[in-house]
Structure 1
Amino acid sequence: MNNKLFLIFVMTLFSLQKSNSQTMSNSVIPITTATGTITTCPFITSDANGKVVMSFGKEIKGETAILCYAFFDEKLKIFGQPIEIPSSKGVELHGENAPKMLFKPNGEIIAVWGIDNPTPKKKYGGLIQYSQSFDEGKSWTPATQLVKDTAGIDQRYFDIDLLPNGEAAIIWLDNRSKTDLQGSSLYYAETRGKNGFQNEKSIGETTCQCCRTDLYIGKNGVIYTAYRDIINDEIRDMVLSYSSDNGKTFSEPKRISPDDWKINGCPHTGPTMTQNKEGLHFAWFTMGGGAGVFYANSADNGNTFSKRNSVSDNPSAKHPQITVVNDKDVVIVWDETAEIEGNYFNRIGLQRRAKNGEIVTTSFVSEDNVMATFPIIKTLNDSEVLVAWSQGSKEEKVCYKIVRLEKEPKSNTTKL
């Protein structure tokens, strides 16, 4: 083969490889294709070495639901074979109360999930359980109940994060309220070595009973908690509380936005937050002063907040999740209902914002005419994010997609 033909061959091969790579990155991939198997409730984290891990619930007809997890292959851009956590059998599969995993720097893995606990006092009550692995997932401890107090009959809507000292922190909604006002209590606990979660305490009252909470450990070591609060016994708006002394005390909650949403019920869609060098960023659903998903930020550690602006004014938009890319850009995902030629379906939206919150682009990453709900998002590198969600109605499957971001924001961005 002469040099000219060889050069053409190499260029053609490179072009095909590049095209295939783009096709792989832009395609929607199910976590498993096994028929008769339901997978749902995805959650994405990283192990102690920075490798991306997705956990999810799996249910086969006639069998008990179980929590699984899989590692992401950065070269192939796909997740590997799912691994089951035996002690999680009986896990409740609920998108707003999704199971979660955390990898401590010392190699310990912690899996946390909810189970049903209906009682005469709490018909739809639940409990939180967890299991630990000290040998890289080869074996797991028996399921341990988070709350030992027999008065605790309902614990749900939890979140976990890694503390600067390498321990794990958890917050959750609890029935053990210290007030006669309606709502649940927000509780907090931390792990202590191999002894699991210890020293639980109440850090907030009058929380909306069925919206997920958000726990975020800031770059400065501040422990941030966001949740839907019941204000003056009738308004259900998002608030922020934080601890600057390693969880010893928490600030009084402040409203992220004065939406003044008056509703005697729970919308089952909680807040999300992240942080970049500009400050804290938030997204949430409300029907106060307009319905949809909204965004705000705070440049002073949550003392004041920017005026909210719309992420999606579709009144069905809900379940937002947020992340930061390269300590700059903010990326938000959510689900909403759409219609094409009389066919209604749920789609996953994705919005990229500049570091100060200016809107850059808005798009939809799921396929049309499918039911896609409860998205989550994880930054892979400076130009890619991983988005996963639950898809389907008859046989739900966890699906994921790698979304490539533009290197520079477009000039015609929509400002706050």
Structure 2
Amino acid sequence: MKPLIAGIIVWLLVSCQQGNTPKEQVHLLSGSGRDASCPFITKDATGHPVISWVEKEPAADTGTMYYAVANDDGYTFGTPVRIPVTTGVRPHDENLPKLLFKPDGTVIVMFGVEQHDARNKYAGKVMYAQSFDKGSTWEPAVPLVTDTAGYDQRYFDMALLPSGEAAAIWLDNRKDTQAEGSTLYFATTAAKAGFQEARPIAGTVCQCCRTKLYVAGNGDIHVAYRDIINDTIRDMVHQVSVNKGQTFSAPVRISADNWVINGCPHTGPALTANSQGLHFTWFTMGGGQGVFYCRSPDNGHTYTQKESLSKSPMAKHPQLATTTADQVAIVWDEPVKWRDGFNSRIGFQLKSAAGKTMTAKQLTPDSVYAAFPVISAIQQNQVLVAYKEKTGDTGRIAAVWLDMETMH
């Protein structure tokens, strides 16, 4: 089937009408009859949006990654592409499998699998594979960590560096302290040799929340994660490298939430940057409950007072992106009462470059179970949002294009 024909068929599979034009409709990307999860958005080497996800048989524990590239019209997708080397991926909506496209045509896929290590029966392993021909063929998947002392890696992120190489961070069991938590590691690729020179950049990191790696336009490398402070507080912190990752600043809390919890919230932070500084969003139950936002106008030296984004105290899993108009678009999921039970819906907020709220609304109807949204800015002041819809125990991947000019 040709990509354009497949894209038109996908466009016709609309789960809920949100307008009269293709860009305002919901597109279903995953295959029917399988359980899909873990949507992630990136861009290929030519700037086309790419959505990846995991599909598995409903009763299976593991699956395989797929991805679809947006066509030139911007509002349809080509035929989904299966990545065979990812067979065995363990789907986890916080430990998202990811794709990264380097300018030289290399594509990197990174994903988590079970470790099966006697030292920790819940341990995970991060694998990655490279394609040197734009995804046509793949090298075998290899472990991100080969040190035998490293038996648990998870909650990773990748980003493209100005040099054209890739950087990655992940949580690792290797540490030089008895304090609770994982160590945050950082590594970069060296052409076809893959990730090299891994080194720790932080310790006592909350073991079960996603991490965020962000490379700003000036080349600064930012990381954000949930730290364990004074053995009991699990608050979000930020670090930055201004020398291409050679060193990182000390961790600084973006907000003194003082959330004391003996457990893992399974919802990590997100950050982006624009002309007015850094912008953060996260979930906490300290000093209020739900999804919050703050910004730093001075590259992490100071942070504004946090602001609640949703009326729901159980809003979680926020993500955000800077639009081409320098605005900040934020999405999250939140529970909603529906008939005799509960569904989950996607919330949305658009902020000005300086963080002033311009629009706040919900993107999905209460009748549809929608969760774990991801967002990416695209051309002409638009954003692409992807998320998981559920019908019973089966998930499918949905995507919608939003025009920020119509959000005001």
TM range (shorter): over 0.9
> Is the deviation greater in 259-268 or in 382-391?
382-391
Match of 1:325 in 2: 323
Report the AA paired with residue 202 of structure 1: P
Question: CA, structure 1 residues 382+88, in 2 after alignment: closer, same or farther (shift >3 Å)?
Answer: same
> Alpha-carbon deviations, 1:142-170, whole Å to 9, x = none?
01100000111110000000011010000
Task: Give the TM-score normalised by the residue count of structure 2.
Answer: 0.92
Q: Which residue of 1 aligns with 2:40?
A: 43
Per-residue CA distance 1:288-308 (angstroms, 9 max, x = gap): 011000000011110110111
Alignment match, 1:178: 176
Gaps of at least 5 residues in structure 2 are 1-16
Indicate conservation of the 8 Å contact 1:297/1:306, yes or no: yes
Equivalent of 2:107 in 102, 106, 109: 109
After TM superposition, list the pairs within 5 Å mapping 1:312-391 onto structure 2: 312-391=310-389
Residues 291, 313 of structure 1: 8 Å contact kept: no
Report the Cα offset of residue 80 of structure 1.
1.4
Task: State which structure, 1 or 2, has the greater radius of gyration over its C-alpha atoms.
Answer: 1
Q: Distance between the aligned counterparts of 2:336 and 2:59, measured in 1?
A: 33
Segments of 4+ moved more than 6 angstroms: none
Separation in 2, partners of 1:209, 1:52: 31
C-alpha contact (below 8 Å) 1:40/1:57 kept by paired residues:
yes
Structure-1 separation of matches of 2:174 and 2:242: 25
Partner of residue 120 from structure 1, selected from 118, 121, 127: 118
Alpha-carbon contact 1:383-1:407 (below 8 Å) kept: no
* Alignment correspondent of 1:22: 20
Distance 1:198 1:20, change over 3 A: closer
CA distance in 2, matches of 1:357, 1:287: 22
CA distance in 1, matches of 2:309, 2:76: 29
Q: CA deviation at 1:20?
A: 11
| Aligned match of 2:165 | 167
1:412 is matched with: none
List per-residue Cα deviations over 1:63-111 (Å, max 9, x = no partner): 7511111101242612211111111110010000010000011110000
Moved more, 341-350 or 253-262: 341-350
1:244 aligns with 2:242: yes
1:293–1:313 contact (8 Å) kept in structure 2:
no
What amino acid is aligned across from residue 395 of structure 2 in structure 1? E
Paired position in structure 2 for 1:138: 136
Hey, what does 1:15 align to over in structure 2? Answer: none
Equivalent position to 1:301, from 296, 299, 306: 299
In 2, distance between residues paired with 1:60 and 1:341? 29
Cα displacement (A) at 1:351: 0.4
Q: Secondary structure at the match of 2:309?
A: strand
Give the alignment of 1:61-140 within 5 angstroms.
61=58, 65-75=63-73, 77-140=75-138
Give, in angstroms, the shift of residue 367 of structure 1: 2.7
8 Å contact 1:58–1:65 — kept in the other structure? yes
- Residue identity in the other structure for 1:49: T
**8 Å Cα contact 1:239/1:255 also seen in 2:** yes
Give the letter for the 2:394 counterpart: E
Structure 1 distance, partners of 2:314, 2:119, is 32
Moved more, 288-297 or 342-351: 342-351
Q: Shift of residue 21 of structure 1?
A: 7.8
In 2, the alpha carbon distance for the partners of 1:20 and 1:169 equals 37
Residue 359 of structure 2 contacts residue 407 of structure 2 at CA under 8 Å; is this kept in 1?
no
Contact 2:324 2:382 in 1 (8 A): no
CA RMSD across the alignment? 1.7
Structure 1 position 25, deviation (Å)? 2.2
Q: Give secondary structure in 2 for the equivalent of 1:396.
A: strand
CA deviation vs aligned residue, 1:254-309 (integer Å, no higher than 9, x gap): 00000000000010000000001000000000000110000000111101101111
The 1:24/1:102 distance shift into structure 2, 3 A limit, reads same
For residues 169 and 226 of structure 2, the distance between their equivalents in structure 1, rounded to whole angstroms, comes to 13
**CA separation in 2, counterparts of 1:348 and 1:290?**
20
